[in-house]
Amino acid sequence: MSDLRTVSGSARPEGAIARADRLFGYLTETMNMIGTITIVLIAVFVVIDVIGLLFRRPLVGVNEFMELSLPGIVFLQAANTLRENRQISSEVFIERLQRRKPRLTKFLYGCYNLIGAVFLAGIAWLLYPKALQAYTGGFTRGAQGIIEIPQWPSMALVVFGGAVMAIQYLLHALRDYRAAITGDTDPVDGQEAIV
């Protein structure tokens, strides 16, 4: 694959941030896929559990597995949701500002993304000791002696997903600040360029 991108008819070398962003996209897509597969597994376990209830033989541990999986799923898929701009947002004010002052709008988006990066990095930082404690302490959910599911994988996914999302916010902030300074917002593959 060439390190050149054609934008508006001119070729320019792909910048280091653009390459990192592209590679980072593969990570967020993989995390999203793992989250989706986990959702399918939960659905299968719930169906098996319901069928088992009909025959008075429910599947043990389904509730505990769902309880521990949901936070991990959310944080596995959140970074890709952000990357693809599929998060819920209200753009009534910002659309008007975009038409009148596009550079100011990009600067405000950069501030928003920087705040998001700090917030998610803070979540990852604060939850890391708890995840480590759950791992070293062997904390579990479930009925002792029947089924015990370790808590640390779910907490580790929240920490990892939060850190990845913080990096994604930071990449968006770099893109937006660059566009605010240069006014260059050439679209690349449906997204704005990061060079």
Over the stretch 111-161, which tens digit does the pLDDT of each residue have?
999 999 999 999 999 999 999 999 999 888 877 778 888 999 999 999 999
Q: Look at residue 100 in the predicted model and tell me its pLDDT.
A: 86
80 has pLDDT over 90: yes
Calculate what percentage of the chain has a pLDDT beyond 90.
Answer: 53
Residue 177 lies in a domain: yes
Q: Please state the pTM of the whole predicted model.
A: 0.81
Quick one: tokens of 125? Answer: 């930082």
Residue 195 lies in a domain: no
Residue 29 lies in a domain: yes
**How do residues 169-179 score in pLDDT, each as one tens digit?**
999 999 899 98
Domain that holds residue 20: 12-85+94-189
**How do residues 91-122 score in pLDDT, each as one tens digit?**
777 788 888 888 998 999 999 999 999 999 99
Query: Domain tally for the chain?
Result: 1
